[in-house]
């Protein structure tokens, strides 16, 4: 009996030691980056596959031309000084590169202007996702006193004085010059502003030499650290909402909280949507500074560090940050030439 008791004690001690060893190993592994395989096409468990931006879009060229003209038209604003292009300039990555845009009468806005490039591929429009379509989105700046400060009745009265506009609308639309047709023309033009043929697109299409060794490393690190759980899909973003500050109180640390900081809450009034925003696309990101809805990050280096801290709850080596930034530059595409 004594020998049996000693044997049972030995088994119990061995089991406890084995349990501790397994637990330590598990904790050690959980602290390491989650590694995913490299090579196109890309997908991450729980995330949508990353796909190249297609080149095959076709548009009505007359609508695109009219929409382009209206996109540049300052008569859409109350004092005839501001156009869509004022805040979304193509030579500035589809933005104005300001912290907050400036509207009529020098009115300063409350949130950073997102890029218009590839906007048709987003699942919703605006940082808080309050618009379901590009047509619906146009109503926002048109009627905002801090932006274009106008109304559709005022705009139509102005444009009807132009024989050229009246003739163009009659050619393109059966019912001529209406607010719905103005919005449709502008939205059609905006839908033509996709940016395919980036280095990363060519990589996804099978060109394994499209990325340099360090760009490849940066892409791997983007996956290793879990960035692709939110920056996923064709735009590496733009297809989901996420709270800003998952592993830390970004807004408390930054201070001076404004209504714009409440994000999706301003639309739904649900407490769980406070500080929740549409995840921005990483496409063409090297040209769309400053970053975040509040324009608080003037460089990609700072933006990546803020994301690592508040969204992932960790610190990473500067070498990895530099590699990620180098990869991000491969997401710059070309504005697509539309065809009829």
Catalytic residue positions, numbered: 147
State the CB neighbour count (10 A cutoff) for residue 256: 7
Asked if 273 and 267 count as a contact pair (C-beta separation under 8 A), the reply is yes
Phi, psi angle pair for 323, to nearest 5°: -65, -40
* Distance separating alpha carbons of residues 109 and 319, to the nearest angstrom: 36
Phi, psi angle pair for 272, to nearest 5°: -70, -15
Burial class (CB in 10 A: 0-12, 13-18, 19+), 153: exposed
Asked if 246 and 311 count as a contact pair (C-beta separation under 8 A), the reply is yes
The angle, 0 to 180 degrees and rounded to 10, between the axes of the packed helices 179-191 and 163-172 is 70
Strands 241-243 and 276-278: what pairing? Answer: antiparallel
Cis status of the peptide bond prior to 218, with omega within 30 of 0: no
* Distance separating alpha carbons of residues 292 and 336, to the nearest angstrom: 26
Asked if 317 and 308 count as a contact pair (C-beta separation under 8 A), the reply is no
């Amino acid at each position: 009996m004594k020998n049996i008791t000693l044997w049972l004690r030995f088994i119990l001690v061995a089991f406890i030691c084995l349990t501790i060893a397994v637990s330590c190993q598990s904790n050690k592994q959980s602290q390491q980056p989650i590694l995913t395989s490299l090579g196109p096409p890309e997908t991450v468990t729980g995330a949508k596959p990353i796909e190249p931006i297609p080149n095959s879009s076709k548009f009505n060229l007359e609508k695109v031309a009219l929409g382009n003209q209206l996109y540049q038209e300052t008569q859409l604003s109350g004092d005839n000084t501001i156009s869509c292009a004022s805040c979304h300039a193509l030579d500035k990555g589809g933005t104005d590169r300001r912290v907050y845009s400036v509207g009529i009468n020098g009115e300063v806005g409350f949130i950073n202007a997102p890029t218009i490039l590839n906007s048709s591929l987003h699942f919703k429009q605006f940082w808080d996702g309050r618009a379901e379509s590009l047509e619906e989105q146009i109503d926002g700046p048109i009627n905002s006193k801090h932006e274009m400060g106008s109304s559709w009745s005022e705009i139509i009265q102005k444009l009807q004085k132009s024989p050229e506009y009246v003739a163009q609308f009659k050619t393109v639309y059966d019912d001529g010059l209406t607010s719905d047709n103005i919005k449709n023309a502008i939205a059609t033009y905006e839908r033509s502003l996709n940016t395919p043929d980036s280095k990363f697109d060519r990589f996804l299409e099978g060109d394994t030499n499209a990325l340099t060794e360090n760009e490849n490393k940066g892409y791997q690190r983007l996956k290793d650290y879990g960035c692709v759980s939110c920056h996923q899909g064709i735009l590496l973003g733009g297809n989901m909402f996420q709270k800003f500050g998952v592993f830390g109180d970004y807004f408390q640390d930054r201070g001076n909280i404004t209504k714009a900081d409440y994000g999706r809450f301003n639309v739904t009034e649900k407490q769980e949507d406070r500080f929740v925003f549409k995840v921005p696309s990483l496409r063409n990101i090297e040209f769309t500074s400053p970053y975040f809805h509040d324009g608080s990050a003037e460089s990609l280096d700072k933006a990546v560090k803020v994301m690592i801290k508040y969204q992932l709850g960790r610190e990473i080596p500067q070498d990895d940050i530099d590699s990620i930034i180098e990869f991000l530059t491969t997401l710059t595409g070309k504005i697509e030439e539309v065809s009829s």
